[in-house]
Structure 1
Amino acid sequence: MKKLFLIIGAPGSGKTTDAELIAQQNDAITHYSTGDMLRAEVATKSELGLEIEKYISKGLIVPIEVAIKTITNAIKNAPTDIIIIDGYPRSMEQLNALDEYLLGDSSLELCSVIEVHVSEDTARDRVLGRARGADDNTEVFDNRMKVYTEPLADIQAFYTTKNILKVISGEGIIEEIVSEMGTFINSKI
């Protein structure tokens, strides 16, 4: 049975870096970043990539059909039985689509949803300081934060009810955050 871990957090919370480092430390874990997967598709300039770019460039969520297809393809093709996906779900629609998928797939268990919590000031400083892409500017950041925070309480409530939400502070030193997250993940596998 494959074991799935989801990592959510504000833009700039460090969720992708944390997950990458954990996967590098453990060959049994495969990491996928929703944002990276979508940006990679944009880079191909395919029809799908151009459609995705319309949403990403404005800090909006891509359509559910695109997001769930991207996620489920990654899970099916993962080379290991332990998978970390960061940046998903970002809406109740995404959460419900994944939950429906999981109900129909007995070979996959959602072990935990880990929220990397940072203040909005920390997130803003990190995103605007990295300037990784065209979507790293104040206007887009503000929209991305709004898109992230609006459904957050409902997402937290859903996974808290299932007793699988774990909140970790993303404010500290990266090594400490990765150690705490890695220890938690290892305790669940």
Structure 2
Amino acid sequence: MKKLFLIIGAPGSGKTTDAELIAAKHDNITHYSTGDMFRAEVTSGSERGKIIDKYISVGAIVPIDIAIETILGAIKKASTSVVIIDGYPRSFEQMNELNKYLVNETEVELANVIEIEVSQEVACERVLGRARGADDNVEVFNNRMKVYTDPLAEIQEFYCRKNLLQKINGERTIEEIVEEIDDFIQSRI
């Protein structure tokens, strides 16, 4: 059975970098970033990519059916026993849809949800400092932050009730953060 770890956090929390570094250390871990998957689809020029672009270019959530198709496809194709997906779920609806899928799934178990906590100020500094694309400006950042924080309490409560939420302080050195997340994941597999 594959063990799935979800890493959530504000834009700029470092969730993608942390997950990439952890996966690079282990042969049995695959990492997927929903943001990277979506950006790759946009770059491909596909019809799905054009639809995705309309949402991410303004910092909005990609429609749930497209997100679920992308994520489920990635998990099923993973060649490893452990899969880390960062940036998902981003809404209560996404969380519910994923939960519905996992309830009946015999090949994938949600091991944990790891929340990387950073302040809005730190997140904004990081996002504007990296400026990867057109979606990295103050207006879009503020919208992305609101999109992240609005459903956060419900998502935290849901995963806390299931005893699946692990919070990590994301305002330390990258080495400290990665070590703590990696140690936690290793303790759960």
Residue 122 (structure 2) pairs with residue 122 (structure 1) = yes
| Structure 1: gaps (5+ residues) | none
CA distance in 2, matches of 1:35, 1:107: 24
| Structure 2: gaps (5+ residues) | none
Alpha-carbon RMSD across the aligned residues, in angstroms, is: 0.4
Q: Which residue of 2 aligns with 1:14?
A: 14
Q: Secondary structure at the match of 2:168?
A: strand
Task: Report the AA paired with residue 181 of structure 1.
Answer: I
Q: Which residue of 2 aligns with 1:79?
A: 79
CA distance in 1, matches of 2:5, 2:157: 17
Identity of paired residues, percent?
67
In the superposition, the TM-score normalised over structure 2's length comes to 0.99
Give 1:74 deviation, angstroms: 0.3
Q: Which residue of 2 aligns with 1:145?
A: 145
Give 1:104 deviation, angstroms: 1.4
Give 1:26 deviation, angstroms: 0.6
Q: How many residues align?
A: 189
Give 1:133 deviation, angstroms: 0.7
Q: Deviations 1:4-43 (Å, cap 9, x if unpaired)?
A: 0000000000000000000001110000000000000000
Task: Report the AA paired with residue 112 of structure 2.
Answer: S
Residue 30 (structure 2) pairs with residue 25 (structure 1) = no
Residue 96 (structure 2) pairs with residue 96 (structure 1) = yes
CA distance in 1, matches of 2:68, 2:104: 14
CA distance in 1, matches of 2:49, 2:97: 21
Q: Secondary structure at the match of 2:106?
A: coil
Q: Which residue of 2 aligns with 1:45?
A: 45
CA distance in 2, matches of 1:108, 1:50: 30
Residue 70 (structure 2) pairs with residue 66 (structure 1) = no
Q: Which residue of 1 aligns with 2:173?
A: 173
Q: Secondary structure at the match of 1:83?
A: strand
CA distance in 2, matches of 1:28, 1:80: 5
In the superposition, the TM-score normalised over structure 1's length comes to 0.99
Q: Secondary structure at the match of 2:116?
A: strand
Q: Which residue of 1 aligns with 2:158?
A: 158
CA distance in 2, matches of 1:187, 1:94: 27
Q: Which residue of 1 aligns with 2:188?
A: 188
CA distance in 2, matches of 1:170, 1:25: 20
Give 1:53 deviation, angstroms: 0.2
